[in-house]
Amino acid sequence: MHFTLPNLYTLYFHHYSLLFPLYSFHFTPYFCGRIMSSEMIHTAIQDYLSKTGHESLNVKAIMFDMDGVIFNSMPLHANAWVKAFSEIGIQFSEYQVYLNEGRTGASTIDEQFLKYFNRHSTTDEQHEIYRIKSGFFRQMPSPELICNITDVVDYLAQNDIARTIVTGSGESSTLDRVEKLFNGQFRRELMVTAHDVTYGKPNPEPYLMGLRKLGVAPNEALVVENAPLGIMAGVAAGVFTIGVNTGILTKSDLASAGANIVFDNMLQLLDALPVLTGTQ
């Protein structure tokens, strides 16, 4: 099923651009109940089509972030990053970890070195701090799956929609668990990790690589993210990008990053998938 941009919406956006030529509107619908209306979802789709110039959204694949989308691992990562940075005298809050989720470890470390020490970190320093952070992370219990994510993935499999992981993480133990827990529904060769890219999120490189691996165009995919930098990366790659607020950030954090639509949880995403994917 294809979603096309009708003349009504073209006139609607043209009308507002004439009335308010100095303002740029970004409409991000989000909802607090169980089910978002199909009208709101269609409006978000039409807004995406208007902004990107695509004629239709024809979903063949979905790209998922991993931490905070597949696994409820962000509290563990936050704890590990806070401890690792404190070892070298850097104060880094859990909220900052969530805001920086999606960056490669090297980028996260380098940004803090610039802030605290007014210089770039060396490759050796990056490796050592990330080793410390990974050590703290591996001392913690294995993260649980995000509630209802298995239902989401099963729905996609049942409707022959391809799926992959696009993550700023390089934690091999967590990536291995994805393959095991989902019984091969995520193929390792299609995944994009910190080891595959030069630039992490918010650069679009990870999602552009995901599109190439899946063999689909931007308007043939969806991105599912829980963090602002990941949302920015998905939007910059030209993909309809969904924010699912599974952590301590606010909905406005995700909406202001440019998410095309924001959900409270995976159950809301599951409810919306028939409309988003045209599998009603």
* 15: in domain: no
CA pair distance 269, 215, nearest whole angstrom: 24
Structure tokens at 278: 């045209």
In-domain check, residue 5:
no
pLDDT in tens, 68-96: 999 999 999 999 999 999 999 999 999 99
Provide the CATH number for the domain around residue 186.
3.40.50.1000
Phi, psi of 15 (to 5 degrees): -60, -45
pLDDT value at 10 more than 70: no
**233: pLDDT confidence band, cut at 50, 70 and 90?**
very high
User: Does the pLDDT of residue 270 top 50, yes or no?
Assistant: yes
Q: Do residues 183 and 150 touch, judged by C-beta distance below 8 A?
A: no
Best CA proximity match to 225, nearest among 208, 239, 213, 211: 239
* 212 domain-assigned: yes
Full-model pTM: 0.82
Helix (H, G, I), strand (E, B) or coil at 191: coil
| Interval 102-116 mean pLDDT | 92
Cβ(238)–Cβ(63) under 8 Å? no
Q: Are residues 82 and 199 in the same domain?
A: no
Residue 9 lies in a domain: no
pLDDT confidence of residue 15: 34
Examine the fold and report which residue of 117, 138, 159 is the final residue of a domain before the chain moves on.
138
Closest CA to 228 of 259, 192, 199: 259
Answer whether residue 258 is part of any domain.
yes
* pLDDT given at position 13: 32
The verdict on residue 23 lying in a domain is: no
pLDDT recorded at residue 34:
52
Cβ-contact 66, 29 below 8 angstroms = no
Q: Are residues 273 and 253 in the same domain?
A: yes
Domain final residue pick, 138, 166, 189: 138
Whether residues 177 and 270 share a domain: the answer is yes
Which of 87, 109, 138 is at the close of a domain? 138
CB-CB neighbours of 160 under 10 Å: 8
Are 107 and 182 within one domain? Answer: no
d(CA 232, CA 203): 8
At 163 the pLDDT is: 97
Q: What is the mean pLDDT of the chain?
A: 87
The Cα–Cα gap between 44 and 178 comes to 30
The enclosing domain of 116 has a CATH number of 1.10.150.240
The strand pairing partners of 243, in sequence order, are 225, 262
Domain containing 115 equals 74-138
Mean pLDDT lowest among 97-101, 135-139, 172-176, 217-221: 172-176
Tokens at residue 28, please?
């991000």
Total number of domains in the chain: 2
Query: Has residue 37 got a pLDDT over 70?
Result: yes
pLDDT at 133: 95
Confidence (pLDDT) at 176: 84
Q: Two tokens at 171?
A: 């934690």
Q: Are residues 163 and 195 in the same domain?
A: yes
Q: Is the omega angle on the peptide bond into residue 218 within 30 degrees of 0, that is, cis?
A: no
In eight-state DSSP terms, residue 163 is E
Q: Which of 277, 280, 270, 276 is nearest to 34 (CA)?
A: 270
> Does residue 58 surpass a pLDDT of 50?
yes
Residue 3 to residue 56: CA distance in whole angstroms = 5
